Every structure is written in C-alpha cells, then in structure tokens.
Structure 1
C-alpha cells in the first residue's frame, strides 16, 4: 500500500469510513489525497456513493473536486527509555480496558499540566474528523473540520462531572496507564489494539502533515452532517 501511495497523485477508495481509515493506517508517513466512494453503510468520510460515482469520476477528470485539509494524530508509547515509533490516526486514539468489566485509571496531562485522573472505561482523543465517530457516541461534541482543536472524551466515567474537553490542536497530551492491576490497550482508528504496560505514557499530538480529503463542488461539512446524521427541522 505504501508503495502504491508513493507513486499516486490521488487515491480513489471504494468502501466505507473503515476502509478509508485502513488505507490511512497502511500509508503511514506517506500522505496522499483521498477520494472516497461509499459502498458501505454511513460513509461520513466519502464524497460519492455507488449510484453517483460516474459524476464523481467526471469531476476528477475535470479537476472540479475540492480538498479539505484534515488534521492527523500522532501517538507514541513511552516506558522509561523505550518508546515506539510514530503511529498515525485520522479519527482518534483510544485507551481502553481489556476484557475485564472494570474501570481503568488514566492520569492525563495537557502540555505538562495535570488535567485529571480519569476513572473510566477508557479515554478518546479525537480530531475534528473523528469527532463524529466514537467520541460522538460517548457524548462528545461535533467539531468543524477546520476548527483547529482536538477533543478529549472519557468513556463512561465514574465521576459524572468528567466531561469532554476541547484543547488546541497544538497541545501535547500525555496519558499514563496508572492502574497497577489491570491492562490498558491503545487503539488508533480501530486498528489492532496495542497493550500499554503499567507505568507507560501515551503521548498524543498533532502530526506534522495533514490529509487532503476530497469533496464534490456542491458539498459542505454541514450538508454532510444533515444527510448522514439525518438532522431535520422546519428550516431544513
């Protein structure tokens, strides 16, 4: 996939949101514009469907597509002097408990300053693109793709005043797996979970590069929200 991406000017991805997230994960450091054609269910990240793909291909041929520069997350796991390589996500980084049905402790800092120790099923750090995914299901807000922020959303926190908090996209978020007895796992964009050892710190920040995500000329973020989330009202 990385070899294909390196030689392409535009990647046309047929599938759903999960397919696009998988492609982004496979590309790694190679960032190429993505044009998504939805043949899945929701298709929030796609800009055409299986019934409108001919129109979409015509727009590509005539250079009539727009691109939204989507922020990416970069995550590393640190334990003492050891650290993993950079891992990239378009939607979110999620720290969560294992198979045991109990809460985990996640000590969280933003730019070196303590935020809180979440006692929860887990914690989501989402980009604006990812704010309409898992974070939204956990009660987080919807963010405009160009808002320049990230959102930290706890999953089923034990303390009811623990709610989503929005931070500047330039923030450095450190999350320590502080529970001495129970495992914590890190998942980026729904990919294979990574076991986070006790005492490890997951550092999340904005990646240096952005992902150009294609859209058709008459599309907007709010039209996508209305359509995909089935919002309606007297003025819509």
Structure 2
C-alpha cells in the first residue's frame, strides 16, 4: 500500500481521549508523520495536531484513527467515503464491532499500520440522492413518521419499474454492516459483510409489501412518498437528514468498497462477530459460547470445571 505520511484524527466529543492523542503525537514525531484534525474536533484533540477544514481532511489524509465507539467510527468512514483510506478504530465505547483495538494497544497498532502489517475489511454504503441533496449511510436509512404514531406510505421502484408499495410504521434500507441492527429487530435478514447487497425491510407493515427484500448493488432503488400534510422523515445512520418530499423521489444505490476498516487480528474480529450473533439470539452450543471468551476466562472456566467436575457439555 502507499506510504502513510498524514494521519487524520477523529474523536468522540465527550470521551477522555487525551492519552491516545499523546500516543499519536509521540508516534508522529518519531516517524515523521503529519497529524490532521478537523475544526470540529480540534478542542477535544488539543495542541500538537494541525487543524484543517473538512475538505482538506478528506483530501489529504492517508489513514484515519477514530477515537470513540462505533458511532464515531461511522463518522470517520463518512469523511473518507469519496477517497477511502484505512480507518483504525480505538474503542472508547461499549461493545464495538467496527472498532478494532483498546486504547492501551494503540502504540503497537500504529507501528503495524505504518509498516503495512494489517488487513483491510471493505464495507459498503448506501448512497442517497433527493434532488440536489446527497448523503451516505454505512448502517441504514430509515423512513419514519414525522410525528409520534404516524405511518409511512411510500412506493418502491427498482430500476425505474414499479415494485410495490409500503404502508408501515417505518421502512429500513440496510447495508450488510447495519443488517444486525434495526433491520434485524424488524425481522430482516442478517447479511454477510462480504455480500454486495442491501435489504429493504418494513416495520409493522399494515398493507402492501410485508416482507424484507434483498437487492444487488447494481439495482437503483427509488422511494416515492405519498402526498400528505406531514411527509415522513429520513434518518441516516440514526441522524435526522431531511423530510421525504413527495414531489422529489429519493434514489438509493449500494456502493461496494466505500470504506476500508483496519483489521490487525481477523480472528479476534471473527470471534467478536460471533458474540454479536449470539446476542441476537442466533443459537450457539455451550462449548461454542466458551470459545468466544477471552483466553484468561477460558482458562478459569476450565479450572472451575476441573474442581467441580463439571461436564464439558
């Protein structure tokens, strides 16, 4: 891969990330690497990092370090969507699945990234356009009622052809990354991150299409809202974006390989993904669950079984 000479830093606005910033500053000085931060993150990151505009940040960084949880990571991926670069997630949240390392691991991780000793996990996004307005979603797009209790009524077109209509509490367009979130809770499918497809899933369907559909990246989806006094609201990765204008159809397409997530230990990520699936009530046997425990806990469990002569299940 290309040499990394400028690293961007994205930080959660309220997490205590100063120790990680010190590690980054020390690494940059030792390796002759420039550190860049956007104006919105400058106060949180502090001195020692060059402050640039969002446009300069996106155009100049060779890699990004995200300090926060998966939400911060999603923001970092959106910043780099027009020129995907490796993004390393440092977990300051709870259970994270996009983030890769804990803060104490940052120094060693930076050396590995600088040496090119890592793998890249590609992620898709949904690209949206409503008139001149555009946005991207790495998890999901939700069409929801503008008011509590309001229903959503939209027509679905695929490649310009009428597919059907929805009348429901909400409508979800989900990437593979987001398929285990709201989409899954609404009865949608779990999709492998390697699949270049996206799901359209209604929430509490009352009429029209009542099941999830899965569409390939080549398909162009158009949503056309029904004329009503309060148009539904579009939410992108959980953030309010704009109302769905009945006069302006919304188009959505899947962009494969829109982001590059750094993986230093693919095996650990696979185990973490299996934990996530177990939390979603997908069945695992007791011995399979035990395999997901950290090494120290597995050893403690083995000793406990030995003392109590517990069966191996």
TM-score range, shorter chain: 0.7 to 0.9
Cα deviation for residue 220 of structure 1 reads 6.5
Aligned to 1:171: 219
1:217 Cα deviation (Å)? Answer: 3.1
Partner of 1:89: 137
> Equivalent residue for 2:29?
none
Flag the 1:167–1:220 CA change in 2: closer, same or farther, 3 A.
Answer: farther
Partner of 1:233: 285
1:46 partnered with 2:99: yes
Of 78, 85, 98, 1:25 maps to 78
Counterpart CA distance in 2 for 1:188 and 1:40 is 20
Aligned residue among 107, 110, 116 for 2:155: 107
The structural deviation recorded for 1:185 is: 1.3
- Residue 81 of structure 2 contacts residue 259 of structure 2 at CA under 8 Å; is this kept in 1? no
Q: Which moved more, 1:46-55 or 1:128-137?
A: 46-55
The structure 1 residue matched to 2:237, chosen from 180, 189, 195, is 189
**1:75 and 2:125 matched:** no
Q: Which structure's relative contact order is higher, taking Cα pairs within 8 Å and 6+ residues apart?
A: 1
The residue correspondences of 1:84-233 to structure 2 (distance < 5 A) are 84-159=132-207, 162-207=210-255, 210-219=258-267, 222-230=270-278, 232-233=284-285
Q: 1:137 to 1:52 in 2, by over 3 A?
A: farther
**C-alpha separation in 2, matches of 1:128 and 1:85:** 24
Question: How many residue pairs end up in the alignment?
Answer: 231
Runs of at least 4 residues off by over 4 Å: none
- Kindly indicate which of the two structures has a greater share of residues assigned to strand: 1
Matched, 1:16 2:64: no
TM-superposed CA distance for 1:209, in Å, is 5.6
CA contact (8 A) 1:70 1:212 kept: yes
Q: Does the CA contact (< 8 Å) of 2:81 and 2:258 recur in 1?
A: no
Give the aligned partner of residue 302 of structure 2: none
State the distance in 2 between where 1:16 and 1:196 align. Answer: 29
Q: Return the structure number with greater helix share.
A: 2
TM-score by length of 1: 0.86
CA distance in 1, matches of 2:256, 2:207: 35
Find out whether 1:4 has 2:39 as its counterpart.
Answer: no
| CA RMSD, Structure 1 to Structure 2 (Å) | 2.3
